[in-house]
Structure 1
Amino acid sequence: MSSRAMLIFSAISGFFFVAFGAFGAHVLSQSLGPREMAWIHTGLDYQAWHTLTIIGLAAAMLRRANIWFYWSSAFLALGVVLFSGSLYCLALSHLKMWVFITPVGGTCFLIGWILMLIGALRLKRKADRHE
């Protein structure tokens, strides 16, 4: 994903996070049980942290293109959609098939973090440093 695409995804994800979080707190909490609300909270937590991470990657990519950060952001975004999205769907629909998608999203998160680590390790240090 380009920095622009990362920021667009993050804006949409951040908007959805706030809107769905408010909807969950004010509306869904009246009709869903504690287990379903826990799934929604877990999805929201992971969505928030990974959305912020994608914003950080976008900022880093504005300074220096890095193919590892590019793929990291793509896997993190896919993780948000699959992991958090499947938890939301599980809580709202009670279809058990969603439990098979959640670990795929979690795996995407892990791949995204590993790719970010590789990208960070491959960054070259600047020769001129002021300490």
Structure 2
Amino acid sequence: MDVFVFASVVHTLVLPMKSPTRFNLLAAGLLGFTGVALGAFGAHVLKDTLAAAGTLDTWRTAVLYHLIHAVALVALPGWPWVGRCWTAGVVLFSGSLYWLALGGPKVLGPVTPLGGAALLLGWTLLAWHAFKSPRE
């Protein structure tokens, strides 16, 4: 799914919308920048190294989740806990995958599901906020 279509769907489903919080916009900017940079770095500088180690798909998964949540933060209304969960989730989930793809210690493997749980909690909170919002 195109990330712009994704952001539009998220934006439409959570009406009535408030403006994104400063934290969400700052996190979106930082995560978007680092996601694009790490995606390019993996595709151009590390591609052969990651492919030889068999971790190129792991890197790509990290970049995908990283960028999806950066875009989602832009579309997110002023619900700070959703943004905090997504930001922590990206740092833990994608961060641990980047580390593992680069051959980091396997002891960080258990961090990945914690990051995934934070991402899922953020999506659950988003649905809860949408459900409890006044209907039009």
Please give the TM-score of this superposition, normalised by the length of structure 1: 0.83
RMSD of Structure 2 on Structure 1 (CA): 1.4
Which secondary structure does the structure 1 equivalent of 2:102 belong to? helix
Matched, 1:83 2:83: no
Amino acid across the alignment from 1:102: T
1:84-120 superposed Cα distances (whole Å, 9 cap, x missing partner): 0000011113310121100000000111111000000
Structure 2 spans left out of the alignment, 5+ residues: 1-19
Match of 2:135 in 1: 125
Higher helix share: 1
State the distance in 2 between where 1:14 and 1:35 align: 26
Match of 2:11 in 1: none
**Post-superposition, which runs of at least 4 consecutive aligned residues in structure 1 deviate over 4 A?**
none
State the distance in 1 between where 2:29 and 2:74 align: 9
Please give the TM-score of this superposition, normalised by the length of structure 2: 0.80
1:17-74 superposed Cα distances (whole Å, 9 cap, x missing partner): 11111111111012223631111100001111111111111xx22xxxxxxx221111
State the distance in 2 between where 1:15 and 1:94 align: 23
Q: How many residues end up aligned between the 2 structures?
A: 116
Where does 1:48-87 land on structure 2 (aligned, <5 Å)?
Answer: 48-57=67-76, 60-61=77-78, 69-87=79-97
Where does 1:83-122 land on structure 2 (aligned, <5 Å)?
Answer: 83-122=93-132
Q: Which has the larger radius of gyration?
A: 1
Match of 2:41 in 1: 23
Q: Is the 8 A contact 2:36 2:67 kept in 1?
A: no
Percent identity of paired positions between Structure 1 and Structure 2: 38
Match of 1:37 in 2: 56
